[in-house]
């Protein structure tokens, strides 16, 4: 068993999101995404599904249905090849769990 203290991974930049990958497994991949207030990941498509859970702060999340404001303990699931984006309204910490069922090496 391995434990993770995500508090140790929290780091912000005034210019860009900070993404820290910390677990790769056969079926999923996890990362901590930190955005300083006002920082944005513009809407874009990705070739994997993802579940995003807000651990701290507040942000606007974009998906194919439009925009949703999420706060602590709220999450959103976005399917493969669907648009996703994030804009931090407050300093924001998000746990991302990517569905990587194909071709991922076990850690």
Q: What's the pLDDT score for residue 5?
A: 95
Contact, 107 vs 95, CB < 8 A? Answer: no
DSSP label of 57: S
Q: Per residue in 51-62, pLDDT tens?
A: 999 999 999 999
pTM of the model: 0.89
Q: Give bridge partners of residue 68 from the DSSP assignment.
A: 61
- List domains and CATH numbers for the chain: 6-99 (2.60.120.10)
What confidence category does residue 106 fall into, taking pLDDT thresholds of 50, 70 and 90?
Answer: very low
Structure tokens at 8: 């140790």
What is the mean predicted confidence (pLDDT) over 33-53?
Answer: 97
């Amino acid at each position: 068993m391995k434990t993770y203290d995500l508090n140790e991974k929290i780091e912000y930049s005034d210019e860009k999101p900070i993404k820290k990958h910390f677990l790769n497994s056969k079926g999923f991949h996890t990362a901590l995404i930190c955005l300083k207030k006002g920082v944005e990941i513009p809407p874009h498509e990705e070739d994997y599904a993802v579940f995003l859970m807000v651990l701290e702060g507040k942000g606007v999340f974009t998906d194919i249905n439009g925009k949703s404001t999420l706060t602590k303990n709220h999450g959103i699931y976005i399917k493969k090849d669907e648009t996703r984006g994030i804009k931090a309204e407050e300093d924001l910490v998000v746990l991302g769990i990517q569905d990587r069922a194909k071709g991922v090496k076990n850690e």
